[in-house]
Amino acid sequence: MYRYDAIDKELLTDRSNEFRHQVARRLAGELSEDQFKPLRLMNGLYLQLHAYMLRVCIPYGTLNVAQVRRLAWIARTYDKDYGHFTTRQNIQFHWIKLRDAPDILDALAEVDLHAIQTSGNCIRNTTSDPRAGATAEEIDDPRVWSEAIRQWSTLHPEFSYLPRKFKIAVTASAKDRTAARVHDIGLALRRGRDGTLGFEVMVGGGMGRTPFIGQTIKEFLPATRLLSYLEAVLRVYNRAGRRDNIYKARIKILVSSLGAEEFGRQVEEEWAQIDGARADLPDTELARIRAAFIQPGLEVLPAVSDSYEAARAANPALARFIRNNVSAHKAPGYAIVDVSLKAHDATPGDANFDQLEAIADLAERFGLGDIRVTHEQNLVLPHVKQSDLPALFEGLAAVGLATPNINLVSDIIACPGLDYCALANARAIPVAQSIAQRFLDADRAELVGELKIKISGCINACGHHHVGHIGILGVDKKGEEYYQLTLGGSGAEDASIGKILGPGINADQVAPAVDRLVEVYLAERQGEERFLDTYRRIGMTPFKEAVYVDAH
């Protein structure tokens, strides 16, 4: 894990001080709201429906025990005893007061946390694979590069007032767990033919009003040239991105209008003029960052643990948990555990004080103190001994964190929606809960298998509905909440944008519609097909006919 040195810590303190001054100036009337708003956004503070919301940065989705405990403390001390994990691996607090924000930032800084650039027209949290350092699938540890980007992008003076927000994701495995192809920049680690490390650079992905899959503008960028190349992309965007219309200001619009080839050419032209010696990280710094991620504490264990196998055989609930929530670790005798924040009656992505404290305890006891956040609003304990899995399971179950539904139908991404968000048109949380209720039967859910449902309360698509196998978009139709379903989206390495199923339906109709879609899938699937695969093979018509069979 990257450990903050004195320099990193002083940066957080200085930032916190700066914001304290800015808040004081605002409260004293020396700054107008117009002048203050970008400043508070760049410290993660939104004004939402009921209160301010603070979005705390969780760099590339990694947390240590002290940080989790501090987040729990903030939830209890300044909020309503819970936090909400987001689709960018961050955590949000929904009931914050502006006047408390400077103190909260100080409290975060004490454990090397912050809210820097979690909003605003700047470079946001660079996200990555929650299994980094634990999976055998990765070409290299993407956290090394995510940390390099984090530092480079933090308070970057040239790129703090971009045309619009800017999101970067780094993936390192063939299976993409970062949605890199729907990011402004997606970086996929690659090996060159001679074995050198590099990135495939994809630009212009994104969701919202105009969804796009990112286009590859550079097949192989040598890894040591990463920062200078990013500088070139950002500079082209800062100069040429539209500033006349916020709905056309993302880089995806620029890439689409120029074409990927021309955009890539402009980047190359700019890049050629950048002095790598100034702009790229020296090898010493890369080595220093890399050294921080060497995983200590992994023991040499046998691949099979008898006690674990016995417990699994004896306890069907444990067995179900293992089937759905546990994946292979690169080290024999270890496992990667997905912790679901999607209990059927809970708010998707939320964790309360007790749950956060329990996660901290369990990570400390069983997880080498390492906690991750996924972009699907769940948590991961990436380093757990198989022999500890039964005890871990009991610990999670005691606080309602053992729902065995990872990647299943009730593992739904849902944005906070109109219950909380000033931008929303419709509620998302109750819709997610109605679907989860419909599929309470765990056997049926496992029978259905992988089914990624994603719900957004408005076109801004924070719920990633465009890339849901089933996507659900909340719209306002004459003052009522309506929901438009899409099918066939994917945020993984097989990225695709979902297609509209048919006219919007009301909230009560959503869960029954999903039920019918599932029935079509179960009737039509062949072999090992997932829902997404069957849809891709048989197309929209059978699904549409099943949902819209009764004219209304």
Binding status of residue 265 toward other proteins by CB under 8 A: no
Residue of 7, 272, 294, 551 interacting with other proteins (CB under 8 A): 7
Binding status of residue 151 toward other proteins by CB under 8 A: yes
Binders of other proteins among residues 213 to 252 (CB under 8 A) are: 227, 235, 238-239, 243
Residue of 51, 298, 319, 522 interacting with other proteins (CB under 8 A): 51
Q: How far apart are CA 299 and CA 291, in angstroms?
A: 19
Q: How far is CA 130 from the centre of its chain?
A: 9
Q: Which residue, 207 or 249, is less far from other proteins as judged by CB?
A: 249
Binding status of residue 288 toward other proteins by CB under 8 A: yes
Q: How far apart are CA 17 and CA 317, in angstroms?
A: 50
> DSSP H helical segments within 88-225, as ranges?
101-109, 142-153
Q: Which residue, 262 or 494, is less far from other proteins as judged by CB?
A: 262
Residue of 3, 29, 193, 550 interacting with other proteins (CB under 8 A): 29
Binding status of residue 287 toward other proteins by CB under 8 A: no
Q: What is the 3-state secondary structure (H, E, C) of 4-44?
A: CCHHHHHHHHHHHHHHHHHHHHHHCCCCCHHHHHHHHHCCC
Binding status of residue 272 toward other proteins by CB under 8 A: no
Q: Which residue, 335 or 510, is less far from other proteins as judged by CB?
A: 510
Binding status of residue 542 toward other proteins by CB under 8 A: no
Binding status of residue 545 toward other proteins by CB under 8 A: no
Q: CA of 447: how far to CAs of 153, 175, 518, 530, in Å?
A: 44, 23, 10, 10
Binding status of residue 160 toward other proteins by CB under 8 A: yes
CB 233 within 8 A of CB 186: no
Q: What is the DSSP track for 406-437? A: TTSTT--EE--GGGT-TT-SS--HHHHHHHHH
Short-list 142, 234, 127, CA closest to 188: 142
Q: Which residue, 86 or 496, is less far from other proteins as judged by CB?
A: 86
Binders of other proteins among residues 475 to 494 (CB under 8 A) are: 478-481
Binding status of residue 266 toward other proteins by CB under 8 A: no
Find the shortest distance in angstroms from Cβ 318 to other proteins: 29
Binding status of residue 427 toward other proteins by CB under 8 A: yes
DSSP-derived letter for residue 531 is H
CB 176 within 8 A of CB 188: yes
Residue of 77, 158, 196, 494 interacting with other proteins (CB under 8 A): 158
The secondary structure element, H or E, covering residue 308 is helix 306-314
Q: Which residue, 29 or 297, is less far from other proteins as judged by CB?
A: 29
Query: Exposure pattern of 97-114 as b/e (b: 16+ CB <10 Å)?
Result: ebebbbebbebbbebbbb
Q: How far apart are CA 136 and CA 173, in angstroms?
A: 9
Short-list 213, 110, 130, 229, CA closest to 170: 130
Binding status of residue 283 toward other proteins by CB under 8 A: no
> Of 258-266, 310-318, 432-440, 526-534, which segment contacts other proteins by CB under 8 A?
432-440
Residue of 284, 296, 303, 306 interacting with other proteins (CB under 8 A): 284
Surface-to-core class of residue 540, CB atoms within 10 Å of its CB (0-12 exposed, 13-18 middle, 19+ buried): middle
Residue of 420, 439, 535, 543 interacting with other proteins (CB under 8 A): 420
Tokens of 177: 């767990």
Determine the angle formed by the axes of helices 306-314 and 389-398, rounding to 10 degrees.
40
> Of 65-73, 152-160, 193-201, 394-402, which segment contacts other proteins by CB under 8 A?
152-160
Q: Which residue, 344 or 499, is less far from other proteins as judged by CB?
A: 344
Scan for tokens 């049926």, then name that residue: 444
Q: Which residue, 242 or 499, is less far from other proteins as judged by CB?
A: 242
Find the shortest distance in angstroms from Cβ 131 to other proteins: 27
Contact mark string toward other proteins, 323..362, x via CB under 8 A: ------------------------x---------------
CB 274 within 8 A of CB 231: yes
> Of 95-103, 385-393, 401-409, 522-530, which segment contacts other proteins by CB under 8 A?
95-103
Find the shortest distance in angstroms from Cβ 185 to other proteins: 17
Q: How far is CA 158 from the centre of its chain?
A: 26
Find the shortest distance in angstroms from Cβ 82 to other proteins: 9
Binders of other proteins among residues 493 to 532 (CB under 8 A) are: 506-508
Binders of other proteins among residues 382 to 411 (CB under 8 A) are: none
Q: Which residue, 10 or 262, is less far from other proteins as judged by CB?
A: 10
CB 501 within 8 A of CB 540: yes
CB 464 within 8 A of CB 491: yes
**Are β-strands 470-477 and 480-487 bridged in parallel, bridged antiparallel, or unpaired?**
antiparallel
Residue of 128, 325, 433, 496 interacting with other proteins (CB under 8 A): 433
Tokens of 309: 């196998």
Find the shortest distance in angstroms from Cβ 521 to other proteins: 24
Find the shortest distance in angstroms from Cβ 237 to other proteins: 10
Binding status of residue 269 toward other proteins by CB under 8 A: no
Find the shortest distance in angstroms from Cβ 436 to other proteins: 11
**Are β-strands 413-414 and 453-456 bridged in parallel, bridged antiparallel, or unpaired?**
parallel
Q: Which residue, 101 or 380, is less far from other proteins as judged by CB?
A: 101
Q: How far apart are CA 19 and CA 57, in angstroms?
A: 16
Binders of other proteins among residues 442 to 461 (CB under 8 A) are: none
Residue of 4, 73, 78, 95 interacting with other proteins (CB under 8 A): 95
Tokens of 482: 């309506």
Binding status of residue 92 toward other proteins by CB under 8 A: no
Q: Which residue, 39 or 397, is less far from other proteins as judged by CB?
A: 39
